[in-house]
Structure 1
């Protein structure tokens, strides 16, 4: 959680390698994927349910046939959230240990597990169309340019009324905050909005997660649709 301002990550060729190395040494557990904050998982899921319920109650809601869980880790969000709403859920996760754990945990008596993609988001190209593409606590591992490209690829992979939903830490400063442990960045609200604009996305709804312990970054949720 300790961070400092850093603006060279976009040009740092080691950015992705060092992040991958960090996660390769993290245990494939809820506490591991949440950086020691496994105790917030239930509160997090409840906040996500409220937001997703709101999205699905809109005038032209997304379908609930197929969702994509980006940076899925061990499948925590798929298992506890997305599979309650969608007929099938695909997962994309670059760490082999995590995705193997997800496959084991999610395939037990579960007909909702779709395709698992073992690849980093900066190299991921969606092969299907999705009703909801869910990105949580992972986009800080993409440089600004790669994040814009990723969102544009996702935008083209949405069904009619499909949405990209993002849930991320947001910093209060205008400077990007860089975490030297896991090689991720935390962006400001304004920078996120600029990135959405660059990716030609329109903000449908936003909310802030409540109930987290003091000392953590504020966590914002964004529902985005391609601009017409």
Structure 2
């Protein structure tokens, strides 16, 4: 299934076993674990302190057959169906992190638009997809101010209805040229975007609900939804090492090493990354990744140069 809009995690939950776990969540759902098997020799823990020798061992147990996988996603969505459609609800009781979250995301997005989008996106019709949008928190506070159109993808129906209300024109302080266009009540693992519709696909606090194979298949499908030169932003909790499985809401917090292995499987390149600052110490660390489908490198410290050949106007 898909994801929503608040996915924080407490690192004190498993203090007795020298690990971290979760408590808040930007909400999400995920999809089943397809036929592709990704062998991950990365150990981890669940929220009860149980140890796993590898991610593959954990995934075999959690989603090892079609019924288990169906239950995994059903239970994940079911968890969020019982959560209030409010900022405090989707942020797991940590509504006060909304401000530093948006501030850091905006600074990161500004840098990316300046470096990756011609003219910084000025005088262009920009379109974004908010994955695991929840009640529209990220769209309303950030994306709709930078993009002419934002589509929202969210599997929990009462969250999406709240987003419709929150993003109604009369509730926004942006011009008529900026709007929420489409509201998809669809799980992330089942969504296929329109070809070359999006300049940016924003994925925040929801990818943890996807099993590894669905993680990879989602990004492979979503790449076709990017315009030429478009990119992903993934903002997620980080385990210090390995992974932490949350048994309650059926999600996994991955380490940086784990993420990089999956990015490689997706055929994605890390263009830039930045750590979130200003969150309470008891929460998981949070990192932002800018991911591109091409390998980019800086030229003279200014704009990135695309290694792949791309159409250009001959003057």
Q: TM-score, normalised by structure 2?
A: 0.69
**Which runs of no fewer than 5 residues in structure 2 stay unpaired?**
1-9, 14-20, 22-44, 47-51, 53-57, 295-307, 309-315
Distance 1:108 1:59, change over 3 A: closer
**Is 1:221 matched up with 2:278?**
no
Task: Select which of 188, 204, 210 maps to 2:277.
Answer: 210
Distance 2:168 2:117 in 1: 32
What is the root-mean-square deviation in Å for CA atoms of aligned residues? 1.5
Q: Partners of 1:113 and 1:59 in 2: how far apart? A: 23
What per-residue deviation string (whole Å, max 9, x for no partner) do you get for residues 29-67 of structure 1?
001111111110011000001100110121555746100
CA distance in 1, matches of 2:126, 2:90: 27
CA deviation vs aligned residue, 1:63-105 (integer Å, no higher than 9, x gap): 4610000000000000001011001100000000000010011
Q: Is the aligned partner of 1:75 residue 2:136?
A: yes
Which one has the largest radius of gyration? Answer: 2
Work out whether 1:170 is the aligned partner of 2:242: no
CA distance in structure 1 between the partners assigned to 2:117 and 2:76 by the alignment: 38
Aligned to 2:187: 120
Among candidates 117, 122, 126, match of residue 65 of structure 1: 126
| Cα displacement string for residues 95-128 of structure 1 (whole angstroms, at most 9, x for unaligned residues) | 0000001001101335411111001101111125
Name the CA distance, whole Å, in 1 between partners of 2:286 and 2:157.
27
Q: TM-score if structure 1 supplies the norm length?
A: 0.95
Give the count of matched residue pairs: 227
2:93 aligned counterpart, secondary structure: coil
Unmatched runs of 5 consecutive residues or more in structure 1:
none
**Corresponding residue for residue 89 of structure 1:** 150
Looking at structure 1, the residues matched to 182 and 169 of structure 2 have their Cα atoms a distance apart, in angstroms, of 15
Separation in 1, partners of 2:258, 2:290: 16
Asked whether the equivalents of residues 116 and 229 of structure 2 are also in contact (C-alpha less than 8 Å), the reply is: no
The aligned residue for residue 179 of structure 1 is 246
